[in-house]
Structure 1
Amino acid sequence: MTLCEFGHVATSGALVAAGMSRRSVARLAADATVWRPRRGTLACAHLSGDARLAVQLGARLDCLSVLREKKVWTGHDARLHLRLPRGGRLVRPDLLPEGTHIHWSDASAGHDRLRVSMSTALRRAMTCFDDPDDVVAALESARHLKTISSATFHKLIDSAPIRLGPALALAQEGPQSGYETKARLRLQRAGFRVRAQVFIPGVGHVDNLINNVVDLETDGREFHESSFESDRRRDLAAEWIGIRTLRVPAAMVDTDWDYIEETIGRMVRDAS
């Protein structure tokens, strides 16, 4: 058994309890691929970033920190999120970054000593996000990235806090980015008919098809910078069949939403 197979971090006692001899544990501790953050604890030396810091602190990654590792939507929250049992304490409080959010919980976090499960992290995020739209965006993002199953997606929605009901009633499988989700939700609340990730013959999948006449594309630099020419060919094909395309930088969904919504309203009216 390797330390990676054990979840990247373990105590010597846990390894012995799992069937390793004390001699094998001692050999493992001396291996160059193993890091010893403190006495009695072994961790993979390749751990970095938030994961490495969590091990140093003696805590588990939770909530948005788990989502961030898998590139699931976390909005603008860049804080470290950790889990500690009630009454627990950090091993190295001097290393704690300012603004860290500690989630106190005695609920089982499973056998992974490094992080809680994705479903547990998403459930925690439901109480951590201020904006219900971010909850929907995180769930849809997690489903798109296949970090949760369809069954788990719907189970999380069904068990969500009551206050999130109106927003989660609009959640769906398919959207590919958080900004795409947030744009759709705002347009739906404004009275537009919006379909996400619609396949149009000759064009392909479009982000958000509005009233069947306008396609809103929320372009993130990491996904669209290398597809400039193909995107314009798609726009031309859509225009040919009567669908106008509005491309906006993804960040404008947060910074200039009123401008976007008013522009879409005019485009829809012009097409009617």
Structure 2
Amino acid sequence: MDALRYLQKIGGVARTRQLLAAGYSRADLARLSSQGARQPRRGVFMLGEHKPELAAALRHNAHVSCASAAPHYGLWLRKTPDLHHLACNHGHGLGFVRHRTNRFDPHPTLPIAAVEDVVLHAMACLEPPASTAIATSAIRLHGVPLELLKDQLRGDRSRPVLDALNELDLSAESIVEVDAQHLFRTHGIAFNSQVAIPGIGRVDFLIEDFLIVEVDGFAYHSSRKSLRNDLARNNASMVNGFLVLRYPPEVIWFEPERVLAEIRAVLSLPRDAPPRFVTQ
């Protein structure tokens, strides 16, 4: 792989020493200028198409972190931040959200904080459910230990953060499930999540042991087979005495009042026959 393709692969911006450490010669770097790369400052090569958060990190001698680093690790994030979130140990520079402490070794080749620091910064910076979605996905996808996060954030000033960590439901399989959990919890709706019901299968949420709430992902009904399976599950739910509400992600995110109103309306319905399944 030549130096230009490598530079494209790592986000379109890199320091000279990173390119040299990757095995490229000074002659290779000299050719980058003729291939469209520019040097906005000494020791930095940048392509026209580059990751702006990486460029900001190099410009400010920092590491990308928090919400800005979440996509690099595949962490669950619904909204890209308006400002770059950077971790640095100095007070210089403006126009970005500053995170002061890096506790772990950063990414080995890119100016990105360790995934553990990304979560710790997000927990202290963002409000739930954005923070808890990042934490849940880091634990599920990268094996970040929950106890490690708690140990790093102990102290009186971190009590709300620790409370949020203690409330994490690691059964959540997507960001929209985390958002639904937060919506239910903050509005006093008790639920069980990822419940396996005989004859029906695993459901996203079970409320008061008779109302099933399913949060459909983006791949919902992506095939005829998935449509048949979901119709069969709905029918099995009704046969077994359950009621079902289903919501796509955009309704959970943009119409939460509708979701709450419909759930409460169903819960207020008279119940003549209880379902045949009771959660433990």
Query: Would the TM-score normalized by the shorter structure come out above 0.5?
Result: yes
1:37 Cα deviation from its structure 2 partner: 4.8
What corresponds to 1:223 in structure 2? 219
CA contact (8 A) 1:33 1:46 kept: no
Could you tell me which residue of structure 2 aligns to residue 247 of structure 1? 246
Distance 1:106 1:129, change over 3 A: closer
Identical-residue share of aligned pairs (%): 24
Aligned match of 2:131 = 135
Aligned partners of 2:198 and 2:7: how far apart in 1?
A: 46
Using structure 1 for the length normalisation, give the TM-score: 0.72
Q: Which amino acid aligns with 1:80?
A: L
Alignment-mate amino acid for residue 174 of structure 1: S
1:87 paired to 2:91: yes
Aligned length: 255
Aligned pair 1:165/2:172, yes or no? no
1:64 equivalent in alignment to 2:64? no
Distance 1:191 1:46, change over 3 A: closer
Question: Pick from 193, 206, 215: which aligns with 1:196?
Answer: 193
204, 209, 215: which is aligned to 2:206?
Answer: 209
Q: SS of 1:223's equivalent?
A: coil
How far apart, in 1, do the equivalents of 2:134 and 2:270 lie?
29
- Opposite residue 16 of structure 2, the aligned amino acid is S
Structure 1 residues 54 and 236, CA, compared in 2 at 3 Å: closer, same or farther?
A: farther
Say yes or no: does 1:105 pair with 2:108.
no
- Where does residue 11 of structure 1 map in the other structure? 15
**Deviation of 1:247 (Å):** 0.9
Displacement of 1:196 after TM fit? 2.0
Q: Secondary structure at the match of 1:224?
A: coil
Matches of 1:37 and 1:51, distance apart in 2:
15
Residues 55, 124 of structure 1: CA spacing in aligned structure 2 closer, same or farther, 3 A cutoff? closer
Q: Partners in 2 of 1:80 and 1:228 — Cα distance?
A: 41
Instruction: Tell me if the contact between 1:179 and 1:218 (Cα under 8 Å) persists in the aligned partners.
Output: yes
Maintained 8 Å contact 2:211/2:267: no
* SS of equivalent residue, structure 2 residue 112: coil
Deviations 1:121-154 (A, max 9, x none): 11111122134x433232223344x1x20x4344
Question: What's the counterpart of residue 41 of structure 1?
Answer: 44
User: Cα offset for 1:119?
Assistant: 1.9
RMSD of aligned residue pairs (Cα, Å):
3.8
Q: Which amino acid counterpart does residue 123 of structure 2 have in structure 1?
A: M
Cα distance, 1:224 vs. partner? 1.9
Are 2:133 and 2:178, in contact at CA under 8 Å, matched by a contact in 1?
A: yes
- The TM-score with structure 2 as length reference comes to 0.70
Q: Identify the match of residue 268 of structure 2 among 245, 259, 266.
A: 266
More strand by share: 1
Give the match's secondary structure for 1:172. coil
TM-superposed CA distance for 1:26, in Å, is: 3.2
